[in-house]
Amino acid sequence: MKVLLATEKPFAAAAAKGIQAILEKAGHEVAFLESYTEKSALLEAVADANALIIRSDKIDAEVMSAAPNLKIVVRAGAGYDNVDLAAATERNIVVMNTPGQNANAVAELVMGMLLYTIRMRFSGKSGTELKGKKLGLLGFGHVAQHVGTLANGFGMDVYAYDAFGRRDNIDAAGLHYIESKEDMFKTCDIVSLHIPLKSDTRGSINADLFALMPKKAILVNTARKEIINEEDLLVAMTQREDIRYITDVQPDNHEAMSAFGDRYLATPKKAGAQTAEANANAGYAAARQIADFFATGNKRFQVNK
Ligand code: 3PG
């Protein structure tokens, strides 16, 4: 089978080589489309692909229609909002993700961006510490669980909220379960967002929640920019000179947000999973899942069921 690795933001070279080795050992042919800038390049490259490994690359109906032999798409990573699941199902294409594989990298970025912010960007100005601060984890998937562990190590007081009311994992991790996102925004000095982008989460972090944030609160977003109501955030940041926003990646209104100086920190390109380890973990998992799918029909991790 022909497997195309289509990564607009490429994996580390060693990870890409490792992916190729796993697939070739399983008898597959591997092609690369890295750092492409035009959709036309993707449309051309998928023409004879049986399988695709992608990151945040947008796989819509047009791309799938240009790939008549496509059987499986594996998003090497967690969020699969970039893949049109309905279009895939319609064409009998299996879509998978690789849950948890890059979670530690994203969690470390959360702590790193937070430290950089509260230590005044290492400028020499007096900052604050994480110890003793209340941290809220909105959503409790793999990334949030890793952040919880790291935050515990820093001596933070960690709260977690799960939209489906599943508190077992939260209790087992020794964290405080919190009943609602409103309670979280009201209670916590720092809220870190760990919810997927779906129709009901798009724009869901809005003025109602910003209004509840305590003095000097910080909002951290390593999930998706689209879950934030950017207009509401702009208004809140303008009205409240004490609150700060940290985000991986830049919002659409980055220029306007930049006016807030040190109260705003954004990565220019999504950096959460951009480590050698995360690239290898997620990439190798994707390669193994594809090899297994063609060898045995294993559809574990399918997300369009
Ligand atoms: C994910 O959903 O796995 C992360 O957002 C990482 O995305 P990336 O592979 O585009 O860096």
**Full set of structural domains in the chain with CATH:** 2-101+274-296 (3.40.50.720), 103-266 (3.40.50.720)
The pLDDT value recorded for residue 165 is: 85
- Cβ atoms of residues 77 and 279 within 8 Å: no
Q: Does residue 102's CB lie within 6 angstroms of at least one atom of ligand 1?
A: yes
Q: Which of 270, 274, 277, 303 to mutate to test the pocket of ligand 1 (most atoms within 8 A of CB)?
A: 270
Q: Please report the pLDDT score of residue 92 as a whole number.
A: 98
In tens digits, what is the pLDDT along the chain, a chain of 305 residues? 999 999 999 999 999 999 999 999 999 999 999 999 999 999 999 999 999 999 999 999 999 999 999 999 999 999 999 999 999 999 999 999 999 999 999 999 999 999 999 999 999 999 999 999 999 999 999 999 999 999 999 999 999 999 988 899 999 999 999 999 999 999 999 999 999 999 999 999 999 999 999 999 999 999 999 999 999 999 999 999 999 999 999 999 999 999 999 999 999 999 999 999 999 999 999 999 999 999 999 999 999 99
Q: Is the CB of 272 under 6 A from ligand 1?
A: yes
pLDDT at residue 166, as a whole number: 86
Query: Could you tell me if the CB of 56 is within 6 A of ligand 1?
Result: yes
The answer to whether the CB of 78 is under 6 A from ligand 1 is yes
Q: Say what the pTM is.
A: 0.97
Residue 55 to residue 284: CA distance in whole angstroms: 13
Nearby residues of 179 by Cβ (< 8 Å), 6 or more positions away: 161
Structure tokens at 273: 């999973």
Testing ligand 1's pocket by substitution, the residue of 52, 54, 55 carrying the most ligand atoms inside 8 A of its CB is: 55
| 132, containing H or E segment | none
> Cα separation of 127 and 146, whole Å?
25
How close is the Cα of 11 to the center of ligand 1, in Å?
11
Q: Is the dihedral of CA 232, 233, 234, 236 positive or negative?
A: positive
Look-up of token digits 């799918």: 293
Nearest CA to ligand 1 atom 9: 55
CA of 193 to the centre of ligand 1 (A): 14
71 CB within 6 A, ligand 1: no
Q: Whose CA is nearest to atom 11 of ligand 1?
A: 273
Nearest atom of ligand 1 to the alpha carbon of 270: 11
Distance CA 91, CA 260 (A): 46
Dig out the tokens for 9 from the structure: 């933001």
Q: Does ligand 1 have an atom closer than 6 angstroms to the CB of 79?
A: yes
Could you give the CA distance from residue 255 to residue 218 in angstroms, rounded to a whole number? 20
